[in-house]
A and B are shown apart, each in its own frame.
Chain A
């Protein structure tokens, strides 16, 4: 297509939007509302996943060493653990440190721990964190076989259940998103179909004059793209603004729930909403046109 033809296409698209201004507003509104719903779900899903992730990442392996092993054996074990490819962080915790931590934990009620410094019943050990939390399940049992290791703990039983729950959460979030995107496509395609239907006579005339399918299609595609873009920009703006506002409030009032930081997270959300909204506009108009191009 030549440049002047593109000018004609966009002129057609915009004059059609101006002429059917009510339909244009309705379509933009539909896209905006659908994208807001989708956006809210994206935010929920992202925060849910983030929450699940932050719980999972607290999963670590505690290794307790036999009392009688030497300094060299400890160093050797540290080196072996560090070389394991699943392991991200290896931290040595001496029994003195463990006691201090315990005392912190009990705070004012730590009196009963008094005197233990002299005959510390705790054991030296390591804390391991893996690159991915689920690697804990496979890794932990093998660690027991190392020389000098007395005991391995990773919250056996609890961790398996936790992973099962977070797994379900992820699947539910994904399913909701796919369902919503499908519903959004349907609603938007239907809205555009109304405008296309109103112009089926014009499309028919164009075919008789010898216009190619793409010549007829492009103004509709540009129109759908513009409607989708404007609608999703409105939605993305509202979503970003309200998330940022509620983040500031929630972080203070409910600090227990780990929320995803607004930036750069919102950039991604805005990007996705605009991309999806625009694509839906284009797909909606192309799909709706197909039937009327068969002349």
Chain B
């Protein structure tokens, strides 16, 4: 379970990014976080990844309080949260399989389990045939699938996707959504920050809408926005 209790984030310059946010996400849920630019979506992901500390409130990931971690504890939190970003964030001089295997090397997995697990996830995202390619030889959609494979290779507790389809054309975006749905179906909690109205509307999942740092709507089987 992912729990946020009365989270506020006020930046040094006085900007209030989040105000008293309460949010609970059960294991295995699929949640869209929507809202206009500057609503606090990015701050929310930064707090979850412990890139920043909340000014007030408590964050609990998998029964562990994570809002006040020491610097050397942060990597272990991030291993529980698989991340995917709009800009893919792949190592461009490593092959696809090296990129995916890296996440396992970080946790010092055995060579044998890496050899077994990497092809599995590459197969799941449909990139088995491109294992030896470099990211620069792939399309945007393919690169995002590599990032997804890397995010789930260690079976994280949560998958946090920050605008994963932001750089992709609609058709490719749907390919990514299908994989996210597969991952979710296997029991991984998925948190997706997005602007893609058509995707949110079509998927009919839980939608949490932020506006000016507050949660203004939290609907199961919701849509992007009622008004627009």
Residues of chain A having any CB pair with chain B under 8 Å: 1-2, 4-5, 8, 19, 201-202, 204-213, 215, 295
Contacts and interface: CB of A to CB of B under 8 A. Distances in A.
Interface of B: 49, 51, 71-72, 75-79, 83, 85, 89-91, 93, 102-103, 105-108, 110-111, 150
Of B75, B89, B93, B107, chain A has the most CB atoms within 10 Å of the CB of: B75
Contact of B108 (A4, A201, A209): A4
Which 6 residue pairs are nearest across A and B when measured between Cβ atoms? A210-B79, A210-B78, A212-B75, A211-B106, A210-B75, A205-B89
A210 B72 CA distance: 11
Contact of A208 (B76, B89, B108): B89
A258 B49 CA distance: 67
A210 B105 contact: no
18 contacts: A5-B105, A5-B108, A205-B89, A206-B102, A206-B106, A207-B78, A208-B83, A208-B85, A208-B89, A209-B83, A209-B102, A210-B75, A210-B76, A211-B75, A212-B106, A213-B72, A213-B75, A215-B75
A153 B134 CA distance: 84
Given A210-B103, A211-B75, A205 B90 contact: yes
A4 B113 CA distance: 13
A1 B72 contact: no
Interface of A is mostly: helix
B39 to A, nearest CB: 23
A160 B118 CA distance: 78
Contacts of B150: 209
Given A206-B102, A208-B83, A212-B106, 11 more contacts: A206-B106, A207-B75, A208-B85, A208-B89, A209-B83, A209-B102, A209-B103, A210-B77, A210-B103, A212-B75, A215-B75
Nearest to A2: B108
Contacts of B103: 209-210
Contacts of A202: 91
Nearest to A212: B75
A2 B93 CA distance: 25
A3 to B, nearest CB: 10
Nearest to A202: B91
A294 to B, nearest CB: 9
B111 A208 contact: no
A215 B108 CA distance: 10
Contacts of B110: 4
Nearest to A201: B89
A191 B106 CA distance: 28
B54 to A, nearest CB: 18
A204 B90 CA distance: 10
Contacts of B89: 201, 204-205, 208
Contacts of B107: 210
Contacts of B85: 208
Contacts of A208: 49, 78, 83, 85, 89
Contact of A205 (B72, B76, B91): B91
B93 A209 contact: no
B51 A209 contact: no
A212 B93 contact: no
Contacts of B78: 207-210
Contacts of A295: 51
Nearest to B81: A210
A279 B15 CA distance: 45
Nearest to B106: A211
A83 B93 CA distance: 76
A205 B102 CA distance: 11
Nearest to A293: B71
A291 to B, nearest CB: 14
Of B102, B110, B111, chain A has the most CB atoms within 10 Å of the CB of: B102
A19 B92 CA distance: 12
A103 B144 CA distance: 98
